[in-house]
Amino acid sequence: MKASQYLISTLKEVPSDAEVASHILLLRAGFIRKIASGIYNWLPMGFRVLKKVEAIVREEMDASGALEVIMPVVQPGELWEESGRWGKYDEGLLVKFNDRHQRDFCLGPTHEEVITELARNELRSHRQLPVNLYQIQTKFRDETRPRFGLLRAREFVMKDAYSFHLDESSLDETYQVMHDTYSRILDRLKLEYRAVLADSGSIGGNASMEFHVLADSGEDVIAFSSSYAANLEKAESIIPEAETADPLPRTQVDTPGMHTINEVASFLKVDATRTVKTLIIKADNEDSGLGLVALVLRGDHQLNEVKAAHLPGLSTPITFANDAEVHAATGADPGSVGPVDLGLTCYVDHSAAALSNFVCGANQNDVHLTGVNWQRDVPAYQVADLRNVVEGDESPDGQGKLTFKRGIEVGHIFQLGKKYSDPMKATVLDDNGKAVTMMMGCYGMGVTRLVAAILEQYHDNRGMVWPTIVAPFHVIIIPINAHKSPEVAKVADDLYRKLEAAGIEVLLDDRDGHRPGAKFADAELIGIPHRLVVGDRGLSDGVIEYANRSSGESEHLPVGDVVTRLTEWVNSDR
């Protein structure tokens, strides 16, 4: 490709609405342009990369035995009524509209309903199973907060696969195949990543793992030890040994103006780990004790809302009671609430439940209790895992301690079971001629998100540094003063033709009106792995200057060796 005939839309300045590296670089290098919040155009240079990422995903999915289909972006509301998600799926995310006949439709945020409809019509016999169908499609989710460019867009490209099975063991098998396939895709993209245990969220189901590309800009925190890795929202806390200190008498103390754990702890000169905090949460119905429940955590711990949402009787998403409701239920304002004589259903985190002689609010403003003990002072309560693990916690599998890293979720695999096949009556006949509801698995991978995730790991202060396998071009040729030197023009053009003939993707920067400095800067910004500079200087010695974008190293190559060497380098790397 000749640059003079291509669209290179680089920006010298950083667009004001971008903060993370991938977003800034995608805009500056002219890969994408925003058309509305979370909605982007892809320019030619960016589209080349997107297509390459897509191709790798497709190759590995095909190799796994999955079959590619394409489903519509627009989906009938009826199907969502059938699965029960029309009114239940996060209202904000689902964009609904009517056609001219006033029938309900939505823009597909995901395709479980459509695929299940497809499967129940096409799959009739157990002999057709298992089958794994996938597509690479544009999704639309009206995210509450699109951000970071491609990392959280509203319109994005996703690879989603759905598998159908007669029984659980078959589902397990495909689930494992998808796990391996995802690992292969991320390996080929040269990404540093982790597969972690995950909560299955609103899509539902049993087993579930996320694939995270490690990056400081990641929105998720993952907790891991040598042999365990989980999303923070899923990571289990270990159950500590109960303390066995002799119970002290329960004592009421005045704590004027002390509301936060830190204030109370330093006022009473105790460690925050000796205190307990009590959060008042709305229940999912009004008849359980004023419609509220209490969650009790050790003072230094944080509530894990995902874990809490799994408790029976709580509103989801978790909603905190407001100050007036707290006061009405406990007789005190938040900050002075505690589990003693509370009169609400009380869930206590393991770590808080292990304490003895602890400090808590007295349900009376500006008063706390010390020497509080479970059983004696709080006879009725239930113990559960409610908190976020913290760095240094024992790993739940007993192997070492947990450390944290941030990750970008690029893939998520689920075992759905019969969550959709059951309400939508997707059955096949088994070998006894009996109708059996199919088991389903579902496997998502964010393709556009992957493009950004790669950039988060592959950039430097000059711009993008693409791994060869997804680079928009493999080689860029920059002729110096070609307008003056017929020799330079001829050699550059000759190399260009020969490299193309060798199957290398070459960009020849033959743009008039751009001086060498500008071309160098563009080449580095766009992140083309190999750069050849053709100038009189080198030609007089019979060499071409070569520079590697990733290592920054350069060397002189004899003109005659260039095609062989480049072909070798590029092919060994893709």
Partner RNA sequence: CGGGGUGUAGCUCAGCCUGGUAGAGCACUGUCUUCGGGAGGCAGGGGUCGUGAGUUCAAAUCUCGCCAUCCCGACCA
Site string for RNA, 207-236 (x = CB under 7 A): ---x--------xx----------------
Q: Which stretch binds RNA (CB under 7 A): 64-72, 115-123, 185-193, 202-210?
A: 202-210
- Where residue 292 falls (left for φ over 0; alpha for ψ -120 to 50; beta otherwise) is beta
For residues 9 and 567, which CB has a smaller minimum distance to RNA in the complex?
A: 9
- The distance of closest approach from Cβ of residue 20 to RNA in the complex, given in angstroms and rounded to an integer, is 7
Enumerate residues 234-273 that contact RNA by CB under 7 A: none
Nearer to RNA, 100 or 145 (CB): 145
- Residue 343's H or E segment, with its range, is none
**CA–CA distance, 382 with 372 (Å, rounded to integer):** 17
CB atoms closer than 10 angstroms to residue 30: 19
For RNA, the closer of residues 15 and 247 by Cβ is 15
108 binds RNA per the rule CB under 7 A:
no
Q: Does 449 bind RNA (CB under 7 A)?
A: yes
Residues 295, 273: Cα–Cα separation, whole Å = 16
Note whether 511 binds RNA by CB under 7 A. no
Contact region with RNA (CB under 7 A), list: 58-66, 139-147, 188-196, 500-508? 139-147
Contact between 483 and RNA per CB under 7 A = yes
Q: What does residue 221 show for φ and ψ, rounded to 5 degrees?
A: -105, 130
**Strand blocks (E) in 23-172:** 32-36, 39-42, 67-68, 74-76, 96-98, 104-107, 131-140, 155-165
Query: Which residue's CB is nearer to RNA, number 219 or number 366?
Result: 219
Q: Judged by CB under 7 A, does residue 120 bind RNA?
A: no
Cβ-defined contacts of 118-124 (< 8 Å, 24+): 118/69, 118/71, 119/162, 119/164, 119/421, 119/426, 119/438, 120/421, 120/424, 120/425, 120/426, 120/427, 123/164, 123/426, 123/428, 123/438, 124/428, 124/429
Distance CA 67, CA 73 (A): 19
Preceding amide of 317 cis, omega within 30: yes
Helices then strands, counting H and E runs in the chain, come out as: 14, 30
- In the region spanning residues 84 to 103, those forming contacts with RNA, defined by CB under 7 A, are 90, 93
> Given the complex with RNA, which of 339 and 446 has the nearer CB atom?
446
C-alpha distance from residue 110 to each of 103, 130, 134, 161, 199 (Å): 20, 21, 12, 10, 17
Sites for RNA among residues 282-311 (CB under 7 A): 305-306, 309
- Count of residues that bind RNA according to CB under 7 A: 74
Nearer to RNA, 343 or 516 (CB): 516
| Options 117-125, 276-284, 337-345, 509-517: segment touching RNA (CB under 7 A) | 509-517
User: Among residues 338 and 444, whose Cβ is nearest to RNA?
Assistant: 444
CB 439 within 8 A of CB 130: no
Site residues (CB under 7 A) for RNA, limited to 390-419: 409-412
Q: Given the complex with RNA, which of 204 and 240 has the nearer CB atom?
A: 204
Member of 521, 565, 567, 573 binding RNA (CB under 7 A): 521
Single out the segment in contact with RNA by CB under 7 A; choices: 47-55, 151-159, 357-365, 373-381. 151-159
Give the nearest distance from C-beta 524 to RNA in angstroms.
5
The rounded distance, in Å, linking the Cα atoms of 219 and 223 is 13
Residues 20 to 49: which contact RNA by CB under 7 A?
20, 23, 28, 34, 36-38
**Segment 450 to 479, residues that bind RNA, using CB under 7 A:** 462
